[in-house]
Amino acid sequence: MKNILVIGGSKGIGAEIVKAQLEHHNVINISRSNPTISASNFTHYTCDILTDELPDIESIDALVYCPGSINLKPISRLKIEDFKNDYEINVIGAVKAIQKYLPVLKNGNNPNIVLFSTVATKLGMPFHASISAAKSAIEGLVKSLAAELAPTVRVNAIAPTITNTDLASKLLRNDKMIENITERHPLKKFLEPKEVADMADFLISDKSRSVSGQIFTLDCGIVSLKL
């Protein structure tokens, strides 16, 4: 069994990743809120990634950083603080976790890091200036760290389209909005958290030993296809 560290595994995509990994591995979760998951191979630390000191962990084989934000406003309404806050939760939090746990991670079994981007870095969409800027930084971080940490630690990211989580609830709050979003995607669907967790499972596993420095776009066709 491997030791999988998930940052932000109490809700949404993070919770699905935790559930999937518990089937075969030990999972350590760090999040501000308490998860509903309970298992003998599950350890939880209540912690704010940005303000609290992170706990010491003796053994880690994979680090998955899930915290993110969906702060959609016209540029005229976005404040500098919005950009700073989005950058801190998406980028600074990830850097803090990586710097803390990298010495332990380097000693792991097929050690790897999984971060999260968004389709908005590749597909220009209105009102995404702040989150797109922050997630573009994540993609640059992935490329740089993958080169710096090779061949010891693999680093990849997942860039999902809209996913059915509490974070995206404002975008899916009624049938008309759900229909519009569904129709925008060539595959006529958007993502469920388990689909993203399945990609994370692949990147964590030994099946992806030759994969590093990649951004995996889970887009239901919206970035690459025009029908």
- Tens of pLDDT, residue by residue over 18-32, are 999 999 999 999 999
How far apart (Å, rounded) are the C-alpha atoms in residues 219 and 61? 28
Q: How confident is the model at residue 149 (pLDDT cuts 50, 70, 90)?
A: very high
CB proximity list for 19: less than 8 A, separation 6 or greater: 37, 197
Helices and strands, number each (H, E), in the chain:
6, 7
* CB-CB contact of 113 with 153 (8 Å): yes
Q: Domains for the chain: give ranges and CATH numbers.
A: 3-218 (3.40.50.720)
pTM of the model: 0.95
Stated length of the chain = 227
How far apart (Å, rounded) are the C-alpha atoms in residues 105 and 100? 10
Letter string b/e over residues 119-132, b meaning 16 or more CB atoms within 10 A of that residue's CB: bbbbbeeeebbbbb
- pLDDT tens digits along 68-127: 888 899 999 999 999 999 999 999 999 999 999 999 999 999 999 999 999 999 999 899
* CB-CB contact of 208 with 202 (8 Å): yes
Among 101, 161, 97, 154, which Cα is nearest to 128's?
161
Rounded to the nearest integer, the mean pLDDT of the chain is: 95
Among 116, 114, 110, 112, which Cα is nearest to 154's?
112
CB-neighbour burial class of residue 100 (10 A; exposed 0-12, middle 13-18, buried 19+): middle
